[in-house]
């Protein structure tokens, strides 16, 4: 069993697909470090939530689903916009990790040495397409449904839905 895993995303917003992936990661690992990226972006159509709001939603959703504080840590990071140094930038700003889980080709490339040979961690691919067949969810889908006034609450945890409504997310997306 691996010890500490890394999972990176924008989480705009954190939805049940993200939750499912974290549950899968924790079946194989003792702890997951969740990096919330692009923290400098907020109140935009593609990035409506602030970094602290995203962190609050993630923590709330994980606790709601029985995941203990000792099993995860949420770290906020700004974009570096430098593929050659990004993976090492991430690793310098988080606790030590043993394995990276990602479905992102770009993240995989950054960590596997396509842009830089200095990174010391190998990615473990998550088959996002396979998971999306089971849970067809994306942040784009959730934001789109909210913007159109369609039902979206079932795509996120109950606590996440409450927080998003409290923060008037629909108004931000209009």
pLDDT tens column, 124-134? 656 555 555 56
Place of tokens 């602030």: 50
For 76, phi then psi, to 5°, come to -100, 130
- What confidence score (pLDDT) does residue 56 get? 98
Structure tokens at 2: 């691996």
Place of tokens 């916009």: 81
Domain spanning 2-173, CATH architecture:
3-Layer(aba) Sandwich (3.40)
- What confidence score (pLDDT) does residue 19 get? 94
- What confidence score (pLDDT) does residue 2 get? 65
Residues of the chain with pLDDT under 50: none
CA dist., res. 158 & res. 67, Å (int):
15
Cis peptide before 110 (omega within 30 of 0): no
Write down the mean pLDDT value for the chain.
89
- What confidence score (pLDDT) does residue 1 get? 58
- Cα distances from 132 to residues 21, 78, 103, 128, 135, in angstroms, run 11, 27, 11, 6, 5
Is 15 in contact with 155 (CB distance < 8 Å)? yes
């Amino acid at each position: 069993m691996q010890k500490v895993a890394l999972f990176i995303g924008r989480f705009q917003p954190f939805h049940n697909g993200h939750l499912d992936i974290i549950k899968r990661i924790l079946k194989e690992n003792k702890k997951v470090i969740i990096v919330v990226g692009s923290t400098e972006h907020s109140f935009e159509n593609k990035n409506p939530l602030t970094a602290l709001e995203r962190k609050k939603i993630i923590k709330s959703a994980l606790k709601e689903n029985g995941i203990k504080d000792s099993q995860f840590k949420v770290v906020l990071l700004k974009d570096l916009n430098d593929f050659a140094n990004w993976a090492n930038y991430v690793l310098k700003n988080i606790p030590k990790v043993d394995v990276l889980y990602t479905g992102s080709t770009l993240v995989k490339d950054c960590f596997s040495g396509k842009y830089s040979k200095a990174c010391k961690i190998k990615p473990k691919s998550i088959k996002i397409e396979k998971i999306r067949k089971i849970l067809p969810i994306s942040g784009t889908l959730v934001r789109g449904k909210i913007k159109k006034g369609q039902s979206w609450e079932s795509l996120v945890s109950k606590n996440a839905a409450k927080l998003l409504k409290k923060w008037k997310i629909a108004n931000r997306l209009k």
